[in-house]
Structure 1
């Protein structure tokens, strides 16, 4: 039986976490500071023990909903991907997940928990009293040669990348540029408007992300410009250790015929590969991502509540958010 024990952040603790091969950007202090600020949440660190022997770490954050303490590792809407566990290679993820509920409902006094662990699979959740949704992600292996990466893409995708170059689309990296968040968010609004929606987060979320990750160099910010120098597309790409993540991308609809989105991704893949990154993670699975030569990886999103009432509140809150988003979009489209 494994056990989770609360841990206070310290230099020694962070150094130990960095030694685990399954560490991700989302387990780092800079990322947790971003999520804590954006969600008004409290980071939760714990060590995983097998008897007296520490064999791993857990990362999450506690927030409040309906007056109840909620442990998210992560929660939907946090614009963060995977948290969960860092474990020694021989340690069972199922056993670690089994130890999570007693920690959340007992030690932390929470009424609900959610967890998405990058290396957990659905069989790990069977018999643990959890509900889960399939939440696969699309990844690209960056270890092949550059020409092999390009060749693995769909023919139409390769043509679009070439078209962007012929059309005079150029890609630039943004550094210490406060206007980048404004460019990205204006394009994001246009993306959502196509579906009669509004973005699920404010521009402050983008600024917070850049502010917390830029000092450590764990983020790549890209702009695509048309031949006249106008910014027509952007991409936000955090990275750490062996993986780069597609946190967000956006473009203006009238300029999409120039294919700036494909050009941005192709630039990011080469940039990451040149720096020893071995995986590009789109952080979600959509049909349009398959054209880049992706492989789908299953990553279940699991949850458990202390009572059926709390589970119902969670589902009601999700439905209310969707309704509110559509109402805001209708208001934004209405004449003044």
Structure 2
């Protein structure tokens, strides 16, 4: 297995069309490179000239060692991690490619060094984290909610919602308000509302507006901002949605908002879902990732959409000496 460090152009040429997150796209990674606290490195694994694995990481050099993250903390990137592209459908060969690619990348970034902290949040498509466990790393299972929209009508999807969710959407549709797709200006309104909500909860939003603005701008059609306004144009609530080739991702916003006695966030989500079915930014999109399946209070709401609970894996350095560094990472990630 040959490991090479790629340019963004090289990365673009090697990236598969399926099984990737929106942050694997060159446009998103270019923004990450500009704003991440560290150096973005794009690793590719090759069998001859054939790419069989890709892995973007951000490397932070510190006085006491190095940290290697995929995704970097505090940037609102839900998942990133490795992409493995075996050329054979046979299970034995797929496992071998995954194992050899993992071993080669971990050796390249020197995770065996006692002063190197490694952490990766893998895509839901990456289903075999065993090579990380075999490398004496910790592996944890997390979850997300993905609503399957493939070959389904809006009416069929809506019928699958809980009764209370259908009622809430119906009540919202009777209100005198506008829900429209907006650009960067709308994204700023969503960002400001999210920041205020964090402040009310005694927390600090880790995302800078410059980063959010650049991401929405660079992603172009891969980012949509849904905003609810009063007839006079006053902002009520909004959602920023990002899109891979496979799914839309609820990324930012959705702060709890009541208008004329009705919660309107469900109506925002419904507009997103209906557009994915009827007017997707990319024709291959077949799902809506609602996120938030690892927080109990959020699950009580998001399970109402009838989405599938989908696992994904977090891999990270193990050992007592890494516990302090990992706790600091989690604080930043929140």
Deviation at 1:108, TM superposition (A): 11
- 1:71 is matched with which residue? 68
Matched, 1:37 2:42: no
Distance 1:180 1:10, change over 3 A: closer
**Contact between 2:17 and 2:245, CA under 8 Å: does it hold in 1?**
no
**Contact between 2:82 and 2:126, CA under 8 Å: does it hold in 1?**
no
Deviation at 1:245, TM superposition (A): 0.9
**Contact between 1:56 and 1:86, CA under 8 Å: does it hold in 2?**
yes
- 1:301 is matched with which residue? 314
Greater alpha carbon shift after TM alignment, 205-214 vs 119-128: 119-128
**Contact between 2:3 and 2:104, CA under 8 Å: does it hold in 1?**
no
Question: Which of 6, 16, 20 is the matching residue for 1:8?
Answer: 6
Quick one: distance in 1 between partners of 2:101 and 2:260? 45
Greater alpha carbon shift after TM alignment, 153-162 vs 196-205: 196-205
Distance 1:272 1:122, change over 3 A: same
- 1:282 is matched with which residue? 290
Quick one: distance in 1 between partners of 2:43 and 2:329? 28
Quick one: distance in 1 between partners of 2:19 and 2:250? 19
Quick one: distance in 2 between partners of 1:320 and 1:82? 17
- 1:88 is matched with which residue? 85
Deviation at 1:254, TM superposition (A): 5.0
Quick one: distance in 1 between partners of 2:26 and 2:115? 23
- 2:223 is matched with which residue? 219
Greater alpha carbon shift after TM alignment, 257-266 vs 94-103: 94-103
Distance 1:110 1:240, change over 3 A: farther
- 2:249 is matched with which residue? 245
Quick one: distance in 2 between partners of 1:149 and 1:88? 32
- Structure 1: 5+ residue runs without aligned partners? 326-336
Quick one: distance in 1 between partners of 2:114 and 2:14? 27
Deviation at 1:50, TM superposition (A): 4.5
- 1:235 is matched with which residue? 239
**Contact between 2:67 and 2:117, CA under 8 Å: does it hold in 1?**
yes
Question: Which of 130, 133, 141 is the matching residue for 2:140?
Answer: 133
**Contact between 1:34 and 1:212, CA under 8 Å: does it hold in 2?**
yes
Greater alpha carbon shift after TM alignment, 227-236 vs 192-201: 192-201
Quick one: distance in 2 between partners of 1:75 and 1:61? 6
Cα deviation, 1:197-223, whole Å, max 9, x if unaligned, reads 332333333223223223xx2100110
Quick one: distance in 2 between partners of 1:123 and 1:58? 14
3-state DSSP of counterpart to 2:106: helix
Matched, 1:262 2:266: yes
Distance 1:149 1:135, change over 3 A: same
3-state DSSP of counterpart to 1:246: strand
Deviation at 1:39, TM superposition (A): 1.7
3-state DSSP of counterpart to 2:68: strand
Q: TM-score, normalised by structure 1?
A: 0.82
Distance 1:193 1:242, change over 3 A: same
Deviation at 1:246, TM superposition (A): 0.9
3-state DSSP of counterpart to 1:48: strand
Q: Give the RMSD, CA atoms, in angstroms.
A: 2.9
3-state DSSP of counterpart to 2:110: helix
- Structure 2: 5+ residue runs without aligned partners? 89-93
Q: TM-score, normalised by structure 2?
A: 0.82
Deviation at 1:298, TM superposition (A): 0.8
**Contact between 1:244 and 1:280, CA under 8 Å: does it hold in 2?**
yes
Distance 1:242 1:316, change over 3 A: closer
Quick one: distance in 2 between partners of 1:212 and 1:107? 36
